[in-house]
Structure 1
Amino acid sequence: MTHEFDSIIAIADELEISRQALNRKAKRLNIDLSKKSFTDTEWKLLASTKRKPKQSTLSNYVDTFTAQQLQLIAEQRLTETNKTLIAYQEKENQPKKGFWRRLYGLPL
């Protein structure tokens, strides 16, 4: 059985795609659109090859978001460690009280 059409626009309308998309698809599948009649196998090829939605874009966003979260966590930990180190160094730099000052609680 053959599928016959009057124009390329009629073919595109039947497949519910644009004329440009039809031309690209026919070129990719090596189908001649100028004859305007197609065998069952050619028609199935034209009708069945649908574009798959891009899932990679969504996964790229998820990967980017996860990487940003991990980077933020690492920066927060680094900041916390720096604050702890600064507090420890300040404590170490204070002069230590001698034995008698600690015993009697005398100020420096």
Structure 2
Amino acid sequence: MKLWYIYIMTNKPQGVIYIGVTDNLHERVKEHKLKIHPNSFTAKYNCDKLVYFEEWNDDFEATQREKQFKKWKRDWKIKLIEDMNPSWMDISKNWNFNFNKIRE
């Protein structure tokens, strides 16, 4: 069964918030860190820290949840992050990324 992820990236605690959805969280976070798309929002604002994610079994439900998050007030998003990750730690910090290979 394929899993889907809604995730939140930031540049620093209480900083810029980016919300996305993907079916490969590990690779997507790596793309943000490497700024594969240099003109993207996350590259422009240096959003390279994963601070929150949710796992979903259904792509439609994941996409709906992402849209819901994007409509939320900033304070609600911050509360969501801080309930799971009060220090805004980069959850992906200890992941073993292979920066020599990018998914195509």
TM-score, with structure 2 as normaliser: 0.22
Specify which structure has the bigger relative contact order, considering alpha-carbon pairs within 8 angstroms and separated by 6 or more residues: 2
If each structure's strand is expressed as a fraction of its own residues, which one has the higher value? 2
Query: For the pair shown, which has the larger CA radius of gyration, 1 or 2?
Result: 1
